Amino acid sequence: MKGYCRVCRLIALWAALILCAAPLSAFADGNALGERLSGLDAGELTELKALIDLRLRALGEYPFVKLSEGSKGDEVTALQKRLKELGYLSSEPDGRYRQKTTAAMKAFEKAAGLKRDGIASVEDQKRLFADDAPAQPTPTPSPTPRPTRTPDIARDYGKFDYRLAGLMPDKYQGSRYRLTGVLLSVLDAEQFWLVQLGDGGLAAVRGAGAQRSAGATVNVWGEYAGLTGYQSESGPVTLPLFNCEHLE
């Protein structure tokens, strides 16, 4: 109950201070405000002063002084409280302007478009205590990366149909297939293999890596990458192209 009465007295006095902008003739007793102040103890006066200072800061009318690393006192405490309120300072205010306060000021200056030096200039503080001061932006959480799955040879690779893929390359592009055939030759500075498929068609295999000699039977598991072309002795030839993922 005592604490409640204390708050009521502060609220009443705050209302009286707001009214003090009216002409003195509006008061029955010009000393009424002074009498109310004299009825407050030191703790209540300190709380009232903090309220007044906070309001003056919000109005931009407070007599700010430049603060920087090494400063200390009530001005620094008020600065730290405001930085904490806006989300820039995580530690508790202690009235000492040190590295954490400097870092918090730099973060605020960046968000407010001010010179980013970590020094609380008068202009910086007017912006900090304004009602529209920007709060610390909430970081966007990074999406959880999808786990990389090792392809299952039996499940993920189908049987390649040379004729259908040649007629509709866009439809089959990106699909995985197993190819069985005979290595005819190596094309384009060993970047591609030319493979004769079991159904009579030809295919180009890219990235096979391991060396094989012409005439060897190969099993290739890979991703269909569309069509490619090469110049044969009889003229240009268009072939289905595979990116090799596994080879036997």
Q: What angle do CA 119, 120, 126 make, to 5 degrees?
A: 150
pLDDT at 22: 44
- Domains of the chain in start order, with CATH, are 62-136 (1.10.101.10), 155-247 (2.40.50.140)
Cβ atoms of 89 and 101 within 8 Å: the answer is yes
pLDDT at 1: 47
Sign of CA dihedral 74, 86, 53, 12: negative
pLDDT at 35: 73
pLDDT at 189: 55
**Among 196, 175, 177, residue whose Cα is nearest residue 185:** 196
Rounded to an integer, what distance in angstroms lies between the CA atom of residue 161 and that of residue 105? Answer: 65
Residues of the chain with pLDDT under 70: 1-31, 33, 146-155, 162-167, 169, 188-190, 209-211
pLDDT at 23: 44
Q: What is the pTM of this model?
A: 0.43
pLDDT at 19: 44
pLDDT at 47: 79
pLDDT at 179: 81
Rounded to an integer, what distance in angstroms lies between the CA atom of residue 8 and that of residue 40? Answer: 12
Amino acid identity of residue 37, one-letter, is: L
